[in-house]
């Protein structure tokens, strides 16, 4: 008998707690949890190497919590799931919805196919606070600006769903071996370079919970000020855990809402909740404008003439631009799979404005190297910094990496952590070593162009060129 058995398709919800599809299926009876590496539908958005490393660890952690019952597959879900249902006789499927354009198209097709065969399909919201189609302006059109979207669109609606507990019991279907082993999914990169990532991260539901608890205890009370300081660890670093669904935004929302904070720290709480709002807004934009990852949101930027310079792009990727804060950020990314958010804005601005290389080239590098690579956030953020996106920073807002460093990394601790060649430089010169007197450079053991690169661009001149290129967009074509 297969009545009361549900196939639970795990996707970006690799957790036991607050998992609506898992909770509802487990309340009805036995479950067969599966994970499929879809190598058919993502196209150019196949997961990057660092994301694959994280996914391997996260699946291992989830399988342990499921008592070894998780089954792994690689292939096309449109073929695999119907075949699996036929072989097991299961008549019910459940999953939590995903919102990337290719996922929406695939899932709609699968749901239709299964329902035509008499299979029950139940889908739930397990990864967003508000559904994108529920938050609209009075004229039923989608928002394009964050503040009215969040303040008027989200916060005036019903509050986010309260998190569900873990199922009281998880009774899994005992079957003959199905699918492949975790190792056979081939998620771990070749060469062993990924081992360094394990020293910085603990993928999995337990790691996500620990990260959130540490943030609340140590950093929430001064988040608004501390989040801009890359020389400290004051951000939550929850983004990869949220992307893979090891913790839900609902769990984070209510932990923050109920956290005990000192009087006067209410603005810190609100500031952090608004960052969750930006995550929602990115997914919202991607849902309503599916071309966001490839096309300029503001069409006038279609006329912008980007430079093509493989050498400059490689220098940026490798952290060898000669601009210390930029190089520190890119080296942090390579060494840890992560970059502080303030620094992300600075390295992004440097790429698209000082170097005038396309935002798509930066997006592609982040996609392959970030542990929190997320199509919605990556696309919206790169378009934001390029000036071409929704509610974007205007193109003429060009971050100066020297003054940014002096303001947010005043002693150069962040730069020196990732650019140790500069560790002997006085703070006055650590963000602009090319301005240091020859005697100071010699005393600090720095020879520009040898120990550390000379700047590949002049910041003032390249800024003027960027503004001129932007001004050309306003001229009649």
Please identify every residue annotated as catalytic.
275, 278, 306, 341, 359, 382
Cα–Cα–Cα angle for 284, 290, 295, nearest 5°? 115
In angstroms, the CA 268 to CA 265 distance is 5
**Residue 202 CB-density burial (10 A; 0-12 exposed, 13-18 middle, 19+ buried):** middle
Count of residues in the chain:
477
Report d(CA 84, CA 192) in Å as an integer.
34
The C-alpha R_g of the chain, in whole angstroms, comes to: 24
Question: In this structure, are strands 71-75 and 31-38 parallel, antiparallel, or unpaired?
Answer: parallel
d(CA 438, CA 248): 53
What's 291's DSSP letter?
T
71 forms beta bridges with: 34
Asked if 124 and 20 touch (Cβ cutoff 8 Å), the reply is yes
CB count, 10 Å around CB of 322? 17
Residue 370 CA, distance from chain mean position: 7
Buried b / exposed e over 248-282, threshold 16 CB at 10 Å, is bbbbbbbbbeebeeeeebeebbeebbbbbbbbbbb
Which tokens hold the place of 115?
A: 């329902």
> Cα–Cα distance between 341 and 235 in angstroms, integer?
8
Contacts of 295 (CB under 8 A, 6+ apart): none
Q: Give the separation between CA 58 and CA 48, rounded to whole angstroms.
A: 15
End-to-end CA separation in angstroms for the chain: 70
Unique residue bearing structure tokens 């792994």? 72
Helix, strand or coil, per DSSP, at residue 449: coil
Distance CA 384, CA 390 (A): 7
Strands 120-124 and 6-10: unpaired
The Cα–Cα gap between 20 and 321 comes to 47
Name residue 94's beta-bridge partners: 8, 122
Q: 134: which DSSP letter?
A: G
Considering only CA atoms, which of 255, 229, 152, 180 is closest in space to residue 414? 229
């Amino acid at each position: 008998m297969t009545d009361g058995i549900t196939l639970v398709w795990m996707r970006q919800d690799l957790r036991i707690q607050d998992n609506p599809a898992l909770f509802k299926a487990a309340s009805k009876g036995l479950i067969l949890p599966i994970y499929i590496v879809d190598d058919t539908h993502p196209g150019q958005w196949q997961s990057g190497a660092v994301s694959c490393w994280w996914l391997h660890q996260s699946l291992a952690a989830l399988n342990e919590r499921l008592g070894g019952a998780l089954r792994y597959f690689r292939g096309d879900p449109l073929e695999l799931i119907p075949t699996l249902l036929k072989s097991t006789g299961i008549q019910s499927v459940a999953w939590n919805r995903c919102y990337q354009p290719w996922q929406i198209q695939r899932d709609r097709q699968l749901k239709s196919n299964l329902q035509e065969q008499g299979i029950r399909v139940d889908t739930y919201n397990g990864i967003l606070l508000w559904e994108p189609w529920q938050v609209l302006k009075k004229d039923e059109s989608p928002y394009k600006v964050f503040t009215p979207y969040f303040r008027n669109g989200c916060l005036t609606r019903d509050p986010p769903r309260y998190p569900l507990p873990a199922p009281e019991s998880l009774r899994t279907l005992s079957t003959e071996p199905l699918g492949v082993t975790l190792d056979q999914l081939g998620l771990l990169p070749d060469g062993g370079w990924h081992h360094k990532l394990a020293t910085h991260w603990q993928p999995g539901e337990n790691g996500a919970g620990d990260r959130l608890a540490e943030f609340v205890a140590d950093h929430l009370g001064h988040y608004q000020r501390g989040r801009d300081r890359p020389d400290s660890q004051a951000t939550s670093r929850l983004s990869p855990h949220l992307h893979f669904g090891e913790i839900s935004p609902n769990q984070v929302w209510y932990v923050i809402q109920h956290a005990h904070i000192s009087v006067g720290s209410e603005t810190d709480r609100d500031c952090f909740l608004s960052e969750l709002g930006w995550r929602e807004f990115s997914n919202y934009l991607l849902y309503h404008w599916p071309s966001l990852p490839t096309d300029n949101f503001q069409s006038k930027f279609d006329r912008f003439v980007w430079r093509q310079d493989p050498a400059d792009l490689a220098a940026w990727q490798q952290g060898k631009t000669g601009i210390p804060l930029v190089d520190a950020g890119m080296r942090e990314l390579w060494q840890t799979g992560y970059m502080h958010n303030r620094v992300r804005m600075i390295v992004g601005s440097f790429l698209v404005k000082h170097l005038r290389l396309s935002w798509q080239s930066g997006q592609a590098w982040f996609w392959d190297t970030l542990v929190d690579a997320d199509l919605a956030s990556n696309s919206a953020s790169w378009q934001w910094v390029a000036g071409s996106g929704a509610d974007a920073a205007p193109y003429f807002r060009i971050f100066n990496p020297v003054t940014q460093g002096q303001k947010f990394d005043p002693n150069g601790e962040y730069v020196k952590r990732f650019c140790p060649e500069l560790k002997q430089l006085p703070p006055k010169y650590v963000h602009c070593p090319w301005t240091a007197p020859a005697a100071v450079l010699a005393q600090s053991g720095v020879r520009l162009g040898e120990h550390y690169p000379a700047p590949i661009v002049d910041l003032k001149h390249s800024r003027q060129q960027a503004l001129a290129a932007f001004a050309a967009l306003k001229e009649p074509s």
